[in-house]
Amino acid sequence: MIREALLYEKLDDQNVRCNLCAHRCRINPDQIGICGVRENRDGVLYSLVYGTLVAENIDPIEKKPLFHVLPASSSYSIATAGCNFACAFCQNHEISQMPRAARMIAGDEVSPQDIVRQAKKGACKTIAYTYTEPTIYFELAYDTAKIAHDVDIKNIFVTNGFMTPDMLEMIAPYLSAANVDLKSFRDEFYKKQCGAKLAPVLDSLKKMKSLGIWVEITTLLIPTLNDSEEELKDIAEFIASLGKETPWHISRFHPQFKSRDLPPTPLASLHRAAQIGTQAGLKYVYCGNVPGDAGENTYCFNCRQLLIERYGFRIINNYLSGNKCPHCGTILEGIF
């Protein structure tokens, strides 16, 4: 299934400029953008993945990870092939890099109506646009999000944050929350490891907050690449500038894809990063990919009472009184 793309402009000689993500690709006739799924056909830009799902599952929302959005609820999670990044450590590289690496687009044809219908059937409170980068299948996400919004199903993005302000403004009325990867605080890392730039990600995070989208941030802590104390302080301070209520998920790296020569993240490094986040004044700092670690739990930032106890993606105990700490009455920020 294909359809004409949103957010592009026509240029001279049947060239087009895609204004969906921060690459802002200038695409010549019969050529495809960096994402591998947006093609210029005779001066008209088309999405090649509209309604072509390569993944469709019911997940716990904690898997996104979103710890402050409807805890213990299910999220209908979808993806198409393709991505506007080329991360050397991507855990979903088989589908994210498929259009470029395998020169193919696989998937099953599914309409936005079908997606919402399946979400309702699965008693899902949210639809997550995840696994690959939702920006590159924006037309499908946008059409689905509008339908879901009308039947009181919330929409969430799990994203690298490399989108344009125009795209965020367009989706904002229908997007309740996003988990954004802040992969590093160094432009060199983004260029070398992802084929991108840092600044647009920081701009997107600021824009999301200004639009009232609930934001949680994830940093995959990769030994020797983004785990210096100086860089972690920079990340923590930036997140604090967005709002100290913004949760920071620090995830443990495991060797994969083109980064198999690196070791897994030492637990001590993970805990040190979490300490840096707390010292920066962040209210909620989490350690991910370490089932059973105390860093998976949510505590009241005021009295340190345990509020939500987790093991992996599973909630063991939820002590919240609505959205408040039962001990001191402090409100837990998020969507509850």
Question: Could you give the CA distance from residue 44 to residue 112 in angstroms, rounded to a whole number?
Answer: 23
CB 218 within 8 A of CB 253: no
User: Is the model's pLDDT at 229 over the cut of 90?
Assistant: yes
What pLDDT, on the 0 to 100 scale, is given for residue 149? 98
Amino acid 277: pLDDT: 98
Percent of all residues in the chain with a pLDDT value above 70, rounded to a whole number: 100
pLDDT interval class at 306 (50, 70, 90): very high
Tell me, what's the pLDDT at 253?
A: 97
Tokens of 286: 């989490």
98-102, 135-139, 182-186, 224-228, range with the lowest pLDDT:
98-102
| Mean predicted confidence (pLDDT) in 170-186 | 98
Q: Residue 279 to residues 99, 122, 303: CA-CA distances in angstroms?
A: 43, 41, 16
Q: Is the pLDDT of residue 169 over 90?
A: yes
Comparison of pLDDT for 102 and 276, the residue scoring more? 276
Q: Write the pLDDT tens digit of every residue in 25-73.
A: 999 999 999 999 999 999 999 999 999 999 999 999 999 999 999 999 9
pLDDT digits (tens, 9 = 90+) for 96-108: 999 988 888 999 9
Average pLDDT over residues 294-300: 97
pTM score, whole prediction: 0.97
pLDDT of amino acid 103? 86
| pLDDT surpasses 90 at 167 | yes
> Per-domain residue ranges for the chain?
3-47, 52-318
Q: Is the pLDDT of residue 74 over 90?
A: yes
Interatomic CA distance for residues 3 and 132, integer angstroms = 20
What percent of the chain lies above the pLDDT cut of 90?
A: 98
Architecture of domain 52-318: Alpha-Beta Barrel (3.20)
Asked if the model's pLDDT at residue 235 lies above 90, the reply is: yes
